[in-house]
Amino acid sequence: MTEHQNGTGQQSSAAPAIELRGISKAFGPVQANKDISISVQPGTIHGIIGENGAGKSTLMSILYGFYKADEGQVFINGQETQIPDSQAAIRAGIGMVFQHFKLVENFSVLENVILGVEEGALLRPSLAKARKELKALAEEYELRVDPDALIEDLGVGKQQRVEILKALYRQADILILDEPTGVLTPAEADHLFRILDGLRAQGKTIILITHKLREIMEYTDTVSVMRRGQMTDTVKTKDTSPEKLAELMVGRKVLLSVDKVPAKPGENVLEIENLRVIDDQGVERVKGIDLNVRAGEILGIAGVSGNGQSELMEVLGGYAQATGSVRLKGQELDLTGKKSDARSRRERGIAHVPEDRQSRGLIMEFPAWQNMIFGYHNDPEIQKNALLMDNSKMVEITQDKMDRFDVRPPHPHLAAKSFSGGNQQKIIVAREIERNPDLLIVGQPTRGVDIGAIEFIHKQIVALRDQGKAILLVSVELEEILSLSDRIAVMFDGHIMGERMPADTNEQELGLLMAGENGSGENGGQA
């Protein structure tokens, strides 16, 4: 473990705002945190970076009293402090903004703010006090929200402000933010960091949990790196580089680019015209887009999550309805009728790696062999006769695929939930790619997947492209989009903001497009 540097110069004499010593935490057989020590100087922004599943959120949840550590000590401003529950954390001056907001949707902003810190048994005085204080906070920190608005009517950016207000109203001196920009546009994110800067200027201590190197490099004073439940290093941000951090995160040099030969695009396989999707709540999520994907080409769709990409995939995958026109190899797809379901899509030659493997792509309780045919269970090849399926044939097929796709452990009878994220994803990829589809839709292929599996999955996708298949890739990771795509389209607010070739663009330009800024004046997909 590295010796800690003393925050930023002028505070060097003060006791650390937070110091953790030897924190360990296991969930059943899984060791989420292992002997972690860290110290954070007051009045700084301290980043904690690591891959998904590295144990960052668990560590911070322990600090917030949400989980109890198995071992270790917590010191706040030099005092050893017990944090058995969130109440204790709040008393110790710690506030937390979770990745998934903890707000009551049908309550007003005020009601959410006072929840848990009401003044006395009746609500009226508490509400009045909170209203006054929110006004003051709004002016001090650019944190404006209508106190009487219902949470469900606010956008995510505003909801996040409510979470920050909640913490400040509880007089938090230490603010923990868990992946705060995952749901924000770059502009909203910039606004957030302006707020955080202001808070730091007031002497508040901020812990920023993220997996985005850019945020760490731009906004933090110090950074700690976590890998597989352990703290690998803590360094001053200005003394490190993205490359060094990336290496610390994954444990070895990462190949950020994918080895591939230039694409040789052929005929159009997928042609989308004026596609519109309206969700269950009646909100238009895809607002008339035009797209095409050619054979032997990977089209990457970039965008902040929640800008219509999911809905686009749902339509193509056959579990959402839409208007407009979608043609596959020149033939119209049914968008609303009997043939708009997922089974018909598969029969037409569309394979689909879904964004959320645990709630869509797999039945977690089923063994691997029953997952390997999921969605393709009507195939003649696995039927014994008109009534029964051929279980032993399915096991056999699964064993073969597991071997070839290096799924570990290669046991067809093991339940899906018993595999790691990367191996779960390999099961899905094996199932979908091996169908030899005309079009493969891939959503967030490497979310929560370890680095080894990422490379493997990327290679498989590129190999399928080289066989002349069309691939539509949706990812919120710009790096993945840039390194894998042959052509990039950016989605914002249900529109295609523009198309770029990876060689002619960069993260900055794409980031602008993702924020809805149409720099070049090109009239993207906006109808």
Partner 1 sequence: MDFLTIIQILDSALRMATPLLLACLAGLISERSGIFDIGLEGKILVSAFFSAAVASLTGSVWLGLLAGVTVSVVFSLVHGMASITFRGNQLISGVALNFLASGLTVLVGETWFGLGGRTPTLEGAERFNPITLPFADALRDVPILGPIYSTLLSGHTLLVYVALLLVPTVWYVLYRTRFGLRMRAVGENPAAVDTAGISVIRLRYTAMVIAGVLCGLAGIYLATGLSSGFGKEMSAGRGFIALAALIFAKWKPVPALGATLLFGLLQAIAIRYPKIDLGFITLPSQFMEALPYILTVIILAGFIGKAIPPKAGGQPYVKER
Partner 2 sequence: MDKMPKWADVALIPFLNLTLAFAISMAVIAAIGQDPFEAVKLMVTGALGSSYGWGYTLYYATNFIFTGLAVSIAFQAALFNIGGEGQAVLGGLGVALVCLYIPFPHWTVAILFAMLGGALFGALWAAIPAYLQAKRGSHVVITTIMFNFIAASLLNYVLVNLLRPKGSMDPASARFPETTNLPTFHDLLSPFGIAFSKSAPVNVSFIVAVVACIVVYLLLFRSRIGYEIRSFGQSQSASVYAGISPVKITMIAMLLSGGLAGMMSINNTMGESERLILNSVEGAGFIGIAVALMGRNHPFGVFLAALLFGFLYQGGGELALWLSIPRELVLVIQGLVILFTGALDNMIRMPVERAFIRAAKRAEARDAKQKEA
Binding site for partner 1 (CB under 8 A): 27, 32, 57-58, 64-67, 85-90, 96, 98, 100, 102-107, 111-112, 114-118, 120-124, 126, 166
| Shortest spacing between CB 194 and partner 2, in angstroms | 38
Distance CA 313, CA 491 (A): 13
From the list partner 2, partner 1, none, which binds 261 (C-beta under 5 to 8 Å, kind-based)?
A: none
Enter the DSSP assignment of 262: P
* SS3 (DSSP) at 225: strand
Residues 325-352 as b/e (b if ≥16 CB within 10 A, e otherwise) read: ebebeeeebebeeeebeeeebbebbbbb
Partner from partner 2, partner 1, none binding residue 42, C-beta < 5-8 Å depending on class: none
Closer of 227 and 411 to partner 2 (Cβ): 411
Is position 27 an interface residue for partner 2 (rule: CB under 8 A)? no
Contact status: 361 vs partner 2 (CB under 8 A): yes
Is residue 74 helix, strand or coil? strand
- Kindly tell me which of 123 and 138 has the beta carbon lying closer to partner 1: 123
Q: Is residue 437 involved in binding partner 2 (CB under 8 A)?
A: no
How far apart are the C-alpha atoms of 513 and 527, rounded to whole Å? 16
Contact call for residues 436 and 471 (beta carbons, < 8 A): no
Q: Which of 359, 339, 350, 286 is nearest to 317 (CA)?
A: 350
Shortest reach from residue 361's CB to partner 2, in Å: 7
Q: Which is nearer to partner 1, 98 or 492 (CB)?
A: 98
In the three-class reduction of DSSP (H, G, I as helix; E, B as strand; rest coil), residue 212 is classed as coil
Least distance CB 170 / partner 1 (angstroms): 9
Judged by CB under 8 A, the chain residues 397 through 426 that form the site for partner 2 are: 415, 418
The conformation of residue 45, written as its DSSP 8-state character, comes to E
Does 341 bind partner 2 (CB under 8 A)? Our answer is yes
Q: Give the whole-angstrom CA distance, residue 478 versus residue 314.
A: 21
- Give CA torsion, residues 393, 395, 396, 398, to 10 deg: 120
Interacting span for partner 2 (CB under 8 A) from 2-10, 86-94, 335-343, 466-474: 335-343
- Examine residue 364 and tell whether it contacts partner 2 (CB under 8 A): yes
Q: How far is the CB of 177 from partner 1 (least distance, A)?
A: 14
Give the chain's length.
527
CB 177 within 8 A of CB 97: yes
Size of the site for partner 2 (CB under 8 A): 35
Under rule CB under 8 A, residue 378 binds partner 2:
yes
8 Å CB contact between 227 and 257? no
Burial 248-279 (b: 16+ CB within 10 A, else e): bbbeeeeeeebebeebebeebbbbbeebbbbe
Q: Which amino acid is at 382?
A: I
Shortest distance, CB of residue 203 to partner 1, whole angstroms? 23
Nearer to partner 1, 61 or 222 (CB): 61
> What x-and-dash track marks residues 308-327 binding partner 2 by CB under 8 A?
---------xxx--------
User: Of 97, 64, 218, 190, which Cα lies nearest the Cα of 511?
Assistant: 190
Q: Which is nearer to partner 2, 49 or 397 (CB)?
A: 397
- Integer angstrom CA distances of residue 418 from 365, 414, 448: 9, 7, 15
Give yes or no for residue 389 binding partner 2 (CB under 8 A).
yes
CB of 163 to partner 2, least distance (A): 27
d(Cα 147, Cα 136) in Å, to the nearest integer? 12
- Among 46, 47, 41, 51, residue whose Cα is nearest residue 11: 41
Q: Which two tokens stand for residue 477?
A: 């990771």
Question: 86 or 344: whose CB is closer to partner 2?
Answer: 344
Among 1, 30, 201, 527, binds partner 2 (CB under 8 A): 30
DSSP bridge partners of 76:
18, 79
- Closest to partner 2 by CB, 261 vs 388, is 388
The amino acid at 88: A
Which CB sits closer to partner 2, 231 or 353? 353
By the rule CB under 8 A, 345 interacts with partner 2: yes
Q: Which does 115 bind (CB under 5 to 8 A by kind): partner 1, partner 2, none?
A: partner 1
Confirm or reject binding of residue 383 to partner 2 (CB under 8 A).
yes
- CB under 8 A: which stretch of 37-45, 212-220, 293-301, 339-347 binds partner 2? 339-347
Q: How far is the CB of 423 from partner 2 (least distance, A)?
A: 11
Residue 426 touches which of partner 2, partner 1, none (Cβ within 5-8 Å per kind): none
* In contact, 291 and 496? CB cutoff 8 Å: yes
Considering beta carbons, is residue 73 or 383 the nearer one to partner 2? 383
The contact set with partner 2 (CB under 8 A) reads 28-30, 317-319, 341-346, 352, 354, 356, 359-366, 370, 374-375, 377-378, 383, 387-389, 391, 415, 418
